[in-house]
Structure 1
């Protein structure tokens, strides 16, 4: 079967036929590149574009320059998008082919080449020096990609980045970010660690409270005794940090800045300064994190309830709050003098403790529909967010339907709402990042943090 017939077979309804055609085209090598590339660029072709793209990737070296030429062509943006995706996975015999285009005038090619080296891991270590200029690239996305590429290549780049830090290269500043992304605090040499500590000290002098992005769980304790809080959570090696840095660590750990670190989410904890008389503890303690890896979330909920009861026996009261920025999850647990008085989780409303709380008065719980009448959105284009919100607010007013409460609302009434911190919030002392038992044993996660 010739190349034209094989390409035609890429549109066959049977997967086996398409796979066989793809394998035969790959075996044809350089001779198939032009015809397959033409199909990739033909937006009217019945062949799904992903099939010729994968054939070109597997053909490897002979496809490299022709696909690169398409990215630089005057074709449609859709064609260039297909070519960029193809270019990012060509199975070259030597990674230096990608390293050689890191200085290409087209920023999308620089970005894609760096992405390939990022995914190549330690195999790309010999090419790492070619990534250094990208740390100060004119395109901010390429700068960020270079940092991620260094992290993807791994600890082997640390000596290179430390040399950049000690040089007069224009990339000195960005190299510090890359070092933190590669190996966290431990990747910095002693001079850079002292530099970061001095920067933190300077910023602490006039730092003002600011709204925090809430995603994860935190405890609130009515105490000014930071030492007692550290002891109660089994924390050590406390490092004084700005509130911004503490928030950054919490969010980084929770949102995936812990790649390659099995205990990244439970290795460190941010303990806030005293805020309006309350100390807040952000993080996922080992007991909670390890419970969450059980078959269900019941282990986590039981752990949180047990800890709240224990902490309230020490501090008189203890609250735990949980919010998600992605899926609508919200929860809270309140304890006083060693006893749980209220627990609620929107995903497990049947597992509540207590029959409501005064802080919930005037609200409806997130799992309750609130009594919206049938057909209340009739005539509204649900894709029109503004119109839908306007109708929602109008129906709430007409039928006296209360607002939904979330953990941050309850925290604002009972302790401190971290999302509402501002210059009116009273602050005593400074926050710290401290190690949990997992942090002492396994170290902390990599990742550059905001100071």
Structure 2
């Protein structure tokens, strides 16, 4: 059977036949590369693209050059994506085969080459000079991929990056970010720490609050006594930062996917200056952050929030906790006064409420359950999204259905809404990042942050 005919068998609905065809093509070696690559680049091909891509990875060295050429000449972004996915993990005889990808004129090819060495981690050490040569790459995406790549390669790359920092030229800035990506504050030498500290001091002098990207939870306390707040949360070693840096750290920790470090999401908390009379604390608490089962985590979080806000309100007179998600519609709030939780609401577990409502919720409906009578939304599914949204707006108006309450609205009514920070927000004191018990035990959190 010809190679082309064998490739066609990859579209078979019979798994055994497909797997037999794959093994035959792997045995055919270089002869199979062109027809398999042709199938990968054909968006109308009946062969699943991931089958073709995985097969090209297995074909090894002979597939490498053709994949690079196909990716550089890809007629659509989808074809480029497919080729890039295959290119990132070709089973080559030696990592040196990938060096042409790092030097290729097309930035997407260079990015795929970086990812290959990123996955090799310590085995990438002999190729560090080739990676370091890209620190001043003209393409921002290549530089960003490289910085993340050094973070995965890890400490073996740190000496070479420090050497770049001691030299001159345009690579120095990206080298600093790469060092931070590897080990955070602890990966920097004394000179770089002084430079960053000075930059933070300068920027803090004229920084104005800006609306925050909110995806997670935070506490709000009616006090300007930051030392008392740090003590109440068992936070130590506060380091002054800009508000931008604090937000950057919180968002990175909140969405951390690093598996090479322990507890990356709960080593530090961002504590704001006093903003319009309220000090906010962003970050996960070590007491619950280590729980990996999603259901167990949610139960433990709710219990911890209620107990913590009650204790905090006993100390500060009042304490609030707010939660929101930018992806799945989650919203929650907990309000405590003088040692007692007076209101708790979580739209993902509406049966676990405390209180019959709160004055801050007046004029809004709680967002769990449908706002509309049964059948009111029938027939909308086939309409364009713009028309669906307009019809929902009309129905709300016709049926006099109020808007849904959410945590940011409640925060704006009761304390401060971080989504509405701006030049009008009154600032007292300094923002800090402070270590939790996990931070003390495990050291600084890896990752480059915005200053």
TM-score of Structure 1 vs Structure 2, range by shorter chain: over 0.9
Q: CA deviation at 1:369?
A: 2.8
Instruction: Identify unmatched segments of 5+ residues in structure 1.
Output: none
TM-score normalized by structure 1? 0.94
Alpha-carbon contact 1:178-1:448 (below 8 Å) kept: yes
Deviation at 1:145, TM superposition (A): 1.1
The question of 1:182 aligning with 2:198 is answered no
Matches within 5 A, 1:87-106: 87-106=87-106
Aligned-pair CA distance for 1:258: 4.3
Aligned to 1:154: 154
Over aligned residues, Cα RMSD in angstroms? 2.1
CA distance in 2, matches of 1:299, 1:319: 18
Name 1:237's counterpart in structure 2: 237
TM-fit CA distance, 1:444: 2.8
Q: CA deviation at 1:40?
A: 3.4
CA deviation after TM superposition for structure 1 residue 128, in Å: 1.9
Task: Classify 1:332/1:10 alpha carbon distance in 2 versus 1 (closer, same or farther; 3 Å).
Answer: same
Question: Counterparts of 1:368 and 1:237 in 2: how far apart (Å)?
Answer: 44
SS in 2 for 1:247: helix
Distance in 2, matches of 1:448 and 1:358, equals 42
Query: Is the Cα contact below 8 Å between 2:347 and 2:367 reproduced in 1?
Result: yes
1:381 Cα deviation after fit: 5.3
Alignment of 1:3-402 (within 5 A): 3-73=3-73, 78-256=78-256, 258-290=258-290, 293=293, 295-296=295-296, 297-371=298-372, 374-376=375-377, 378=379, 382-385=383-386, 387-402=387-402
- Conservation of the 8 A alpha-carbon contact between 1:372 and 1:395: no
C-alpha distance after superposition, 1:222-265 (max 9, x if no partner): 11211111111111000011111111111110012644222111
Would the alpha carbon gap of residues 291 and 360 (structure 1) be closer, same or farther in structure 2, given more than 3 Å must change? farther
Q: Is the 1:135–1:144 contact (alpha carbons within 8 Å) kept by the matching residues of 2? A: no
Cα distance between partner residues in 1 of 2:75 and 2:4: 23
Offset at residue 99 of structure 1 (A) = 2.2
SS in 2 for 1:349: coil
Residues 258 and 265 in structure 1, CA contact (< 8 A), matched pair in contact too: no
For 1:170 and 1:260, locate their aligned partners in 2 and report how far apart those are by CA, in whole Å: 30
1:81, CA displacement in angstroms?
Answer: 4.2
Q: Distance in 2 between matches of 1:135 and 1:121?
A: 18
Q: How does 1:369-448 map to 2 (within 5 A)?
A: 369-371=370-372, 374-376=375-377, 378=379, 382-385=383-386, 387-448=387-448
What is the CA–CA distance in structure 2 between the aligned matches of 1:45 and 1:257, rounded to whole Å? 34
Q: Offset at 1:288?
A: 3.1
- TM-aligned CA deviation for residue 117 of structure 1: 1.3
Say which SS state the counterpart of residue 448 (structure 2) adopts: coil
Q: Confirm or deny: 8 A CA contact 2:237 2:434 kept in the other structure.
A: yes
Deviation of 1:100 after TM superposition, in Å, equals: 2.9
Mark the CA change 1:115 to 1:355 in structure 2 (over 3 Å): closer, same or farther: same
Q: Bigger CA drift: 70-79 or 300-309? A: 70-79
Q: Is the 8 A contact 1:243 1:272 kept in 2?
A: yes
Q: Between Structure 1 and Structure 2, how many residues are aligned?
A: 450
Task: Give TM-score, length-normalised by structure 2.
Answer: 0.94
Taking the aligned partners of 1:41 and 1:324, their CA distance within structure 2 comes to 37
2:167 partner SS:
coil
2: distance between equivalents of 1:292 and 1:379? 39
Please, which moves more after superposition, 294-303 or 432-441?
294-303
Cα deviation digits, residues 51-78 of structure 1 (max 9, x gap): 2322221110122122223234476665
- Alpha-carbon separation, structure 2, partners of 1:34 and 1:234: 62
Offset at 1:146? 1.2
- Taking the aligned partners of 1:448 and 1:300, their CA distance within structure 2 comes to 28
- Summarize deviations over 1:404-441 as a string: whole Å, max 9, x none: 11111111111111111111111111111100101000
- For 1:308 and 1:281, locate their aligned partners in 2 and report how far apart those are by CA, in whole Å: 12
Q: Distance in 1 between matches of 2:227 and 2:79?
A: 60
CA pair 187-312 structure 1, distance change in 2 beyond 3 A: same
Separation of aligned partners in 2, 1:258 and 1:233? 25
